[in-house]
C-alpha cells in the first residue's frame, strides 16, 4: 500500500509540473469550468430569486444538493476519471504495456492521468457546501459534520464504482467511452431534489445509477426531510457497488487477449 | 512566411462545386462518428427531461415568472433544446486544430474565399446538427405536448432571424478563432466561451427572466442575437409585432461584424508560420 501511495505521489507531482508548464492553458481551463458551472448556478439563482421555492425546496437547500454532488464527484474525478480512456488505451495497444509492469493494472490506468476539471470542481463544491451549510445552520452539530464527511466519501466511491463498471465494458466492446458518458450523464438529475422527477427517474437514481446517495438523500436528511432508511444506505450502496465494480474489472481483465490481430 | 499565406488566391468567380463539396464533407464527418451522435442524443434527451421537470417544480407555487406562464416557458425551453445547434460555435477549436496540423497552408491555397468557405461549412454543419435533433423534437412533441406555432409568418420570421443570428455568431466565432493564431492551445478558450454562451445565449433560461440590470447587457451579445432572438420569436416570448425591430438589430450586428471579422483574420493570419515543405 505504501509503495502505491509513494508511486501515486510521484505521478501526481509529474502531472502538476505538466500543468504548471502550460499555465495559460490551465488558467483558461479553470475559467471555462467555472463558467460552465456558473451558467447552471446563475440559472438556479435567477429563477429561484423570483419564486418562493422549487416545489418546497429553498434556494440554499437546492444549492446544498448541487454542491454535495459536484464535491463528491470531484473527490474521485481528479484521481480516477482517467479510466474513461480505457477503451482508447486498449485500442492503441497502450494497455498491454500496463500488464507487463509489476504494479496493479487498475492502479496504473487510474494513475495514467489527472482530471483537471475536478481540480476546479473540488473547491467550488466545497464553497457551496460551506456557504449553504452556514446559511442553513448545518455546522452547529458535530454529528452533521461527520454525516457530511461520510456522505461525501460514499458519493465519491459511488461515482468511481459506476465509472469503473462502465469503463470495464471496454474489454468486450473496446470503445467504452460512449457507455461511460451515457450512464454518467444521468448525474444531471442528481443536481436537483429527486422528488421533482417522476418515480421512474427516482428509482433509476436510487437503485440503478445511485447518484442520489451522493447528493439528494444526505441533503434531505440534513434538512430534516423524511427519506427513511435511504438516509443511511449511502455507505452500504457505495461498498457493494465498489466490490461489484472491482469483480467486474477482474472478469474483464481475465478475458482480455489484446486488441491487435 | 509563405507568400501564398500573405496573399491567398481569391476566386475569380463563385466556385459552387467547391462550396458544395465542403458542405458534403461536413455530412460525411458526422456519419463517421455515429457513436458520438448516440451519446449526444442521450445527453440531449436527459437534459430536456431535467429542464421540463425543473421548470414544472419552479412553477408549482407561482402562476407566472417575469410574466411568462408555465406553458410559455416550457414552449421556449423545449424549442431551445430542439434548436440548440443554432447557438453552437466551432472555429476556435477548428483554427487551433488546423494550426497544430499545419493544414492552414492547404486551406489558404484553395481557390475559394476562406471566410465564405468556412461560412458554408458552418451552415451545413448546423443543418446536419439540427437534423440530429429530430428525436428530441419528437420527445418534445409527443411526450411533453409541445405545440408548434401554426402561423406561417412566425416560421418565416424565425427562419430569417435564425439565418441572420447564425451569420452574426459565425462572424464573432471567426474573430475568436483568430486567437488560435496567437496561442498554441485555444480549446480552453472555446470551452470557456461555450460556458458563457450557455447562460448569455438564453439556452438555459428565457432572458426576460434576468434582473433589470443584467438583461440589457446580455441581450446585446452575439450569443443572444444568434439564439435567444429567433427562439423567442418562434415560441411567442417575443410577439410577431417586435420582429421588424429585432431583425433590424440582427442585421446591424451583421453589418458591423462581417467586415470586422475579415479585418481581424487578415491581421491575425500574418502571425502564422507554416514550417516544412
Domain ranges for chain B: 3-271
- Mean pLDDT for the stretch of residues A6-26: 81
Closest chain B residue to A39, measured at CA? B199
Q: Give the Cα separation of B106 and A65 in Å (integer).
A: 51
Phi, psi of A100 (to 5 degrees): -100, 5
* More confident site: B107 or A41: A41
- Which contiguous run of DSSP H or E holds residue B193? helix B187-200
State how far Cα B161 lies from the chain centre. Answer: 12
Q: Per the structure block, which three cell numbers stand in for B113?
A: 474565399
Assigned domain for A260 exists:
no
Q: How many CA atoms lie within 13 A of B256 on its CB side?
A: 10
Percentage above 70 pLDDT, chain A: 99
3-state secondary structure of B68: strand
Q: What is the ipTM of this complex?
A: 0.86
Angstrom distances, CA of residue B206 to CA of B209, B226, B232, B238, B269: 6, 14, 8, 11, 38
Q: Which residue do the cell numbers 488566391 mark? A: B9
Q: What is the pLDDT of residue B250?
A: 97
Question: With bands split at pLDDT 50, 70 and 90, how would you rate the model's confidence at B27?
Answer: low
Higher pLDDT, A139 or A114: A139
Q: Based on the structure, what is the number of domains in chain A?
A: 1
- Report chain B residues whose CB lies below 8 A from the CB of A39: 195-196, 198-199, 204
Among A16-20, B33-37, B68-72, the range scoring the smallest mean pLDDT is B33-37
- B129 Cβ partners below 8 Å, 6+ apart? B30, B85, B88
Work out the minimum CA distance from A148 to partner chain B, whole angstroms.
25
Residues B69-119 pLDDT 10s: 999 999 999 999 999 999 988 787 788 777 777 777 777 777 888 899 999
Reduce the DSSP state of residue B121 to 3 states and report it: helix
- Cβ separation A32–B66 shorter than 8 A: no
Q: Does residue A79 lie in a domain region?
A: yes
Q: Which of A48-52, B156-160, B271-275 has the lowest mean pLDDT?
A: B271-275
Taking Cα atoms as reference points, which of A32, A61, A59, A27 lies closest to residue A46?
A59
pLDDT at B11 over 60: no
Say if A51 is an interface residue toward chain B (CB within 8 Å).
yes
Q: How many CB atoms lie within 10 A of CB A209?
A: 20
> How many other C-beta atoms lie within 10 A of the C-beta of residue B33?
11
Query: By CB neighbour count within 10 A (0-12 exposed, 13-18 middle, 19+ buried), where does B187 fall?
Result: middle
Per-residue pLDDT tens digits for B255-268: 999 999 999 999 98
Kindly report the average pLDDT of chain A as a whole number: 90
B65 touches chain A (CB under 8 A): yes
3-state secondary structure of A215: coil
Q: What is the pLDDT of residues A56-74, one digit of tens each?
A: 999 999 999 999 999 999 9
Contact A83, A77 (CB under 8 A): no
In a domain, A119, yes or no: yes
b/e code A122-151 from CB counts within 10 Å (16+ = b): bebbeebbeebbeebebeeeeebeebbeeb
pLDDT exceeds cutoff 80 at B29: no
Mean pLDDT check: name the lowest of A3-12, A55-64, A136-145, B97-106: B97-106
Q: How far apart are CA B226 and CA B167, in angstroms?
A: 8
Cα–Cα nearest to A122, from A90, A159, A172, A87: A159
Tell me whether residue A261 is in a domain: no
> Grid coordinates representing A236?
452500504
Helices A142-168, A234-255: inter-axial angle, 10-degree rounding: 20
Interface subset of A 185-224, CB within 8 angstroms of B: 185-186, 188-189, 191-193, 196-198, 201
Q: Evaluate if residue A181 carries a pLDDT over 60.
A: yes
DSSP state of A204: I
Amino acid at each position: 500500500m505504501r509503495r502505491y501511495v509513494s508511486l501515486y505521489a510521484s505521478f501526481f507531482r509529474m502531472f502538476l509540473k505538466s500543468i504548471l508548464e502550460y499555465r495559460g492553458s490551465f488558467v483558461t481551463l479553470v475559467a471555462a469550468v467555472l463558467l460552465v458551472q456558473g451558467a447552471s448556478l446563475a440559472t438556479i439563482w435567477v429563477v429561484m430569486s423570483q419564486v418562493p421555492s422549487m416545489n418546497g425546496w429553498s434556494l440554499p437547500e437546492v444549492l446544498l444538493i448541487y454542491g454535495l454532488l459536484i464535491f463528491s464527484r470531484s473527490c474521485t474525478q481528479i484521481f480516477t476519471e482517467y479510466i474513461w480512456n480505457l477503451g482508447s488505451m486498449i485500442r492503441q495497444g497502450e494497455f498491454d504495456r500496463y500488464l507487463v509492469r509489476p504494479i496493479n493494472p487498475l492502479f496504473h490506468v487510474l494513475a495514467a492521468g489527472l482530471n483537471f476539471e475536478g481540480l476546479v470542481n473540488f473547491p467550488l463544491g466545497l464553497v457551496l457546501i460551506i456557504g449553504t451549510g452556514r446559511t442553513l445552520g448545518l455546522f452547529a452539530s458535530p454529528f452533521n459534520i461527520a454525516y457530511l464527511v461520510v456522505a461525501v466519501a460514499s458519493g465519491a466511491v459511488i461515482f468511481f464504482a459506476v465509472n469503473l463498471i462502465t469503463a470495464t465494458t471496454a474489454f468486450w466492446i473496446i470503445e467504452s467511452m460512449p457507455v461511460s458518458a451515457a450512464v454518467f450523464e444521468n448525474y444531471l438529475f442528481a443536481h436537483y431534489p429527486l422528488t421533482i422527477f417522476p418515480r421512474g427517474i427516482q428509482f433509476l437514481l436510487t437503485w440503478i445509477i445511485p447518484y442520489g446517495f451522493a447528493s439528494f438523500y444526505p441533503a434531505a436528511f440534513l434538512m430534516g426531510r423524511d427519506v427513511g432508511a435511504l438516509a443511511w444506505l449511502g455507505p452500504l450502496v457505495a461498498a457493494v457497488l465498489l466490490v461489484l465494480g472491482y469483480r467486474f474489472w477482474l472478469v474483464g481483465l481475465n478475458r482480455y487477449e489484446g486488441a491487435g490481430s | 512566411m509563405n507568400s501564398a499565406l500573405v496573399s491567398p488566391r481569391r476566386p475569380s468567380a463563385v466556385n459552387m462545386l467547391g462550396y458544395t463539396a465542403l458542405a458534403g464533407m461536413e455530412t460525411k464527418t458526422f456519419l463517421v462518428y455515429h457513436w458520438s451522435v448516440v451519446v449526444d442524443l442521450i445527453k440531449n434527451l436527459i437534459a430536456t427531461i431535467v429542464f421540463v421537470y425543473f421548470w414544472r417544480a419552479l412553477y408549482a407555487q407561482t402562476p407566472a415568472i417575469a410574466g411568462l406562464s408555465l406553458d410559455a416557458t416550457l414552449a421556449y425551453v423545449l424549442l431551445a433544446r430542439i434548436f440548440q445547434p443554432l447557438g453552437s460555435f466551432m472555429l476556435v477549436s477548428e483554427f487551433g486544430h488546423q494550426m497544430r496540423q499545419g493544414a492552414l497552408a492547404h486551406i489558404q491555397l484553395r481557390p475559394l474565399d476562406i471566410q465564405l468557405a468556412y461560412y458554408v461549412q458552418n451552415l451545413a454543419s448546423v443543418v446536419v446538427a439540427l437534423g440530429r435533433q429530430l428525436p428530441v423534437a419528437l420527445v418534445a412533441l409527443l411526450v411533453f405536448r409541445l405545440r408548434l406555432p401554426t402561423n406561417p409568418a412566425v416560421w418565416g420570421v424565425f427562419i430569417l432571424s435564425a439565418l441572420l443570428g447564425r451569420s452574426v455568431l459565425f462572424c464573432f466565432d471567426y474573430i475568436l478563432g483568430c486567437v488560435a493564431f496567437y496561442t498554441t492551445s485555444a480549446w480552453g478558450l472555446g470551452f470557456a466561451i461555450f460556458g458563457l454562451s450557455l447562460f448569455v445565449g438564453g439556452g438555459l433560461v428565457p432572458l426576460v427572466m434576468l434582473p433589470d440590470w443584467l438583461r440589457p447587457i446580455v441581450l446585446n451579445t452575439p450569443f443572444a442575437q444568434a439564439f435567444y432572438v429567433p427562439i423567442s420569436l418562434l415560441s411567442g416570448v417575443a410577439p410577431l409585432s417586435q420582429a421588424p425591430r429585432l431583425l433590424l438589430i440582427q442585421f446591424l450586428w451583421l453589418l458591423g461584424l462581417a467586415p470586422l471579422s475579415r479585418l481581424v483574420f487578415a491581421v491575425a493570419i500574418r502571425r502564422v508560420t507554416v514550417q516544412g515543405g
